[in-house]
Chain A
Amino acid sequence: MPTEISGSTGVNKITDGTVVTADIAADAVDGTKIADNAINSEHITAGGVDDAHLATGITASKLTGALPAISGAALTGITEPPRKNFIINGGFTVNQRAAYTSATAVGAGAKTYVSDRWAVYIESIACTYNWYDATIDSVKRRAGKVISTGTGSSKYFHVTQQIEYESWMEGRTITISGWVRTNLAGQKFRICDGVGCYTPGSVIASDGNWAYYSTQHTLPNDVSSYAAFQVHPAFATGNFTTSTYLEWAEFKVEFGSTATAYEHRSYGEELALCQRYYEVITGGIGMGIVKSSTAADCSFQPKVNKRAAPTISFSGTFYANDGSAQQSATLSSTGGTQDGLIVVIAFSSLNTGRACMLYTPSVDHKLTVDAEF
């Protein structure tokens, strides 16, 4: 017979297992019956409380200890994900063309690619380029440096990186940011977006001290006619002496109206991004077929598909080997696409119809593949 348990009859003791879940009707115990801190967390099994029973959520004071994993879908209020810098090699870590650890000559007015993706020159004035590790705001940051070696008035620095357009960039606001120092007055960030060139933001101090700047720009609503937009860390005409310089570090171009911290990529990741535009191949280059005693067609695929059909050049010594003899080889023609390339090589004598290998004896001898803007 059911027995009513009341405050007057009481229960002396309920032993373990006496009351099982099936014995507690739905909603038999509501929140008002459970005093604050009555249930220790160790008595709540994993999955024991589902989302529907967290009516008023959990206050921050209840979130102690290590937090469990939070999925990206649960994160709101973040307008753009990380790893969003459109600038490639902003840290000057990739230098496929040369080391650039010391001042390297750049011809007057000659657009010259230096550290990967960066092109520099000064209008009508010779200059040098190098990178170095600077201490900026108490932090070691790698900086690029251009310094004039000639003189001239009403000239300008042309330091730039071109960023490939995609249709999803249309009409978006971007923020350009980075550290700059110069001794040339009147410099400002510059962006050329295809429609025009603009110098938004503040004038960069010409006191020779590093300072951080940022500014915004809205990209055109239709970029289908343009291959890229380009940004300049500083631009304005001025009077150059033999020691007029521009230095820039940790440049960033990102969507949104707020400049966020510079984010370093791994060397491998940065290198792969650079190789879409420029690549050096040494050692084993490719395989081919000897089509006559003095010529062979060789094919190879670049490590990264190129932006456009690339320019190919040789530097140093090359060999072709058909398994019976090794011959010095020269390049006589090229073909192919941005994905797979063909080089026609010439040599003094190999065996027609044999396969052959094209290679260089060391890293000092190289084939370059150039698809930069």
Chain B
Amino acid sequence: MIITNAKYTQWQGTNSSVKATIDGQEMFIPLDESNRHYAEILKQVADGTITIAEAD
């Protein structure tokens, strides 16, 4: 997966998802490791490939 522009988004004042562009498609990914997109984000963060920006 090619992941860019990863950034936390919030609902009710707490981080609830990561907004990211994955393979050219903007997606909202829940903070759930059983979600394959979030698992890949965590992997790429651990590898140092991407970082997740804080929410506005």
Residues of chain A at the chain B interface (Cβ within 8 Å)? 107, 110, 227, 297, 307-315, 331-336, 342-344, 370-373
27 contacts between A and B (CB under 8 A): A107-B23, A227-B34, A307-B34, A309-B30, A309-B34, A310-B35, A311-B30, A311-B35, A311-B38, A313-B27, A314-B26, A333-B10, A333-B11, A333-B17, A334-B9, A334-B16, A334-B17, A334-B28, A334-B30, A335-B16, A336-B30, A342-B16, A343-B28, A344-B9, A370-B27, A370-B37, A371-B35
Q: When chains A and B are docked, how far (Å) is the Cα of A227 from the Cα of B33? A: 12
Determine if B26 and A342 form an interchain contact, defined as CB atoms under 8 angstroms apart: no
Chain A contacts for B38, CB-based, 8 A: 311
Q: Which of B28, B31, B36, B37 is the most central at the interface, judged by chain A CB atoms within 10 Å of its CB?
A: B28
Q: Which of A297, A307, A332, A343 has the most CB of B within 10 A?
A: A332
Q: How many pairs, one residue from A and one from B, have CB atoms within 8 Å of each other in the complex?
A: 63
Whether B34 lies near A308 (C-beta < 8 A) is yes
Interface pair A313/B36, CB less than 8 Å apart = no
Report whether over half of chain B's contact residues are helix, strand or loop; otherwise say mixed.
Answer: strand
Residues of B within 8 Å of A308, CB to CB, are 32, 34-35
Which B residue's beta carbon lies closest to that of A297?
A: B11
CA distance A344 to B11 in the complex (A): 8
Knowing that A311-B37, A312-B28, A333-B28 touch, tell me 19 more A-B residue pairs with CB under 8 angstroms: A297-B11, A308-B34, A309-B32, A309-B34, A311-B38, A313-B27, A331-B28, A333-B16, A334-B9, A334-B11, A334-B17, A334-B28, A335-B11, A335-B17, A335-B30, A342-B16, A343-B28, A344-B11, A370-B27
List A contacts of B10 (CB < 8 A): 333
**Is there an interface contact between A333 and B19, defined as CB atoms closer than 8 Å?**
yes
The 9 closest A-B pairs by CB, nearest first: A333-B9, A309-B30, A335-B11, A309-B32, A335-B16, A308-B34, A334-B28, A313-B27, A334-B17
Chain B: number of interface residues, binned into ranges: 20 to 34
In the complex, the answer to whether B36 meets A372 with C-beta atoms within 8 Å is yes
CB-nearest residue of chain A relative to B37? A311
Q: Which residues of B lie under 8 Å from residue A310 when comparing CB positions? A: 30, 35
CB-contacts of B13-55 with A (<8 A): 16-17, 19, 23, 25-32, 34-38
Write out the residue numbers on chain B whose beta carbons fall within 8 Å of the beta carbon of A332.
9
Cross-chain contact A313 with B17 (CB below 8 angstroms): no
Task: Name the one of B12, B27, B34 contacting A335, with C-beta atoms under 8 angstroms.
Answer: B12
| Cα-based distance from A307 to B32 in the complex (angstroms) | 11
- Look across to chain B and name the residue whose beta carbon is closest to the beta carbon of A344: B11
Closest to A308 in B: B34
Check A110 against B36 for contact (C-beta < 8 Å).
no
Residues of the B chain whose Cβ atoms lie less than 8 Å from the Cβ of A370? 27, 37
Docked Cα-Cα span, A373 to B33, in Å, equals 11
- CB neighbours (8 Å) of B11 from chain A are 297, 333-335, 342, 344
